[in-house]
Amino acid sequence: MSDKNIDRRSFLKGATLAAASLGVPTAAAAERKPSSAKVPTKQLGVTGIQIPIIELGTSQTLDAVYDKKMHLCYREGVTMIDTALVYGWGASHRAIANFLQQIDDRQNMFITSKSESTRVSGLRKGLDECLDELQIDNLDLYLMHNATNPKMLDPDYIKLGDELRKSGKTKLFGFSCHGRDIIPVMNKAVRVGGIDVILFRYNFRQYGDLELNRAIDACKKGGIGLIAMKAMASVPKELEQVAGFTSDNFTLAQAKLKSIWADERIDCINSEMDNVKRVRENIAAARSTQELTAGESHQLNRLAALTAGYYCNGCASLCEKAAGRRTAIADPLRFLMYYECYGKQSRARELYGKIPEHLKGFEPAQIARAEAVCPQGIKIRERLAAARELLG
């Protein structure tokens, strides 16, 4: 039996037993070796702008009165915040607006926001809404939220970037994407020009992805700034624990970050540090000059192999096309990850509820075709059933 094909029930059972006997590393490992320096910075693409190598992602609950995480980040040099119109339906923007007023240091903060609109008029309006909610005059970076198709980078969209930069409402312009389907979009961005920054899914699971690596190379050569997100690439905790990770230097979360920072093509990691402990843990990793050892890298590779069947890469163009495009697969599995791994139960349910009902069905023949092309070996039928049960 290959690692990928381990039966889920036996794996979970093994996970529970093994987790009890394995010492799960804690943040204390790297915090024992703190540096007095602030978080290192790096130039974002060819913009000439220096940014910290980690930014705070805010698709999470922020304290609207006084958010300790944002203030701690600011004090430690994580002066970069990523938000979006859709995060908390304005709550994220409003909490950040309050935070910016409290620190009164807008010029030293780098603020990114996004609009989900795919139309030029909607993106133009979305930027005004961002500024209004954030109560600032301009963004440092404005992104189209989740560009999944190269056609989205049409001439009007590229012209809009020029217009918005000239207007002074944003310094930089680009797009984000959650899945592996970004590869053709990244390649088009290089061809058409006018894109300053791309925020994309990149983590330790994707080192061997040749096509993605070529797209990253092309973007880097084209001067596009690259920010990695989904850095944790999490699967349910009990599965991660059975794979085991031991290190004198790093926690597992820190090792995952380190594996991305080892790639010089990446300028920054977007990390959703949703509690103070996680902020401290990630900042300790960012400051540490210790590289991952070969043994630690090997353990990450082993984790990726053991849990591949539970991690959806977001390559919807493979499975949904094979299924006949009448079945949503990548999105339900992403929302299931929010539920199982990130404790975002209500957000996951809310997002799942927005998927049209007719896309939630899964005929056995369709799913068999989808499973046959899935590079992760995911038991799609089983996972969609779990999504329906937990999120429906």
Nearer to ligand SF4, 27 or 330 (CB): 330
Q: Which residues would be at the binding site for ligand SF4 (CB under 6 A)?
A: 312-316, 318-319, 329-330, 333, 374, 376, 378, 380
Apex 151 CA angle, 146 and 153, nearest 5? 65
**Helices 155-167 and 120-134, packing angle to 10 deg:** 30
- If the CB atoms of residues 172 and 319 are measured against ligand SF4, the closer one turns out to be 319
**296 vs 331 by CB, closer to ligand SF4:** 331
- Smallest separation (angstroms) from ligand SF4 to the CB of 12: 19
CA–CA gap between residue 330 and residue 366 (Å, rounded): 14
DSSP letter, residue 151? G
Nearer to ligand SF4, 209 or 272 (CB): 209
Cβ 383 to ligand SF4 shortest distance, Å = 8
Quote the CA–CA distance of 283 and 288 in Å, as a whole number: 9
Which residues lie closer than 8 Å to 212 by C-beta, 6 or more apart? 180, 183, 202, 206
Nearest distance in Å: CB 232, ligand SF4: 17
Q: Among 50, 61, 58, which Cα is nearest to 84's?
A: 58
SS3 per residue for 65-82: CCCHHHHHHHHHCCCEEE
Between 343 and 375, name the residue whose CB sits nearer to ligand SF4. Answer: 375
The Cα–Cα gap between 158 and 186 comes to: 14
- Amino acid identity of residue 119, one-letter, is R
How far is Cα 271 from Cα 28, in angstroms, rounded to an integer?
19
Specify whether the CB–CB gap between 286 and 257 falls below 8 A.
yes
CB 318 → ligand SF4: shortest distance, Å?
Answer: 4
Q: Which is nearer to ligand SF4, 145 or 180 (CB)?
A: 180
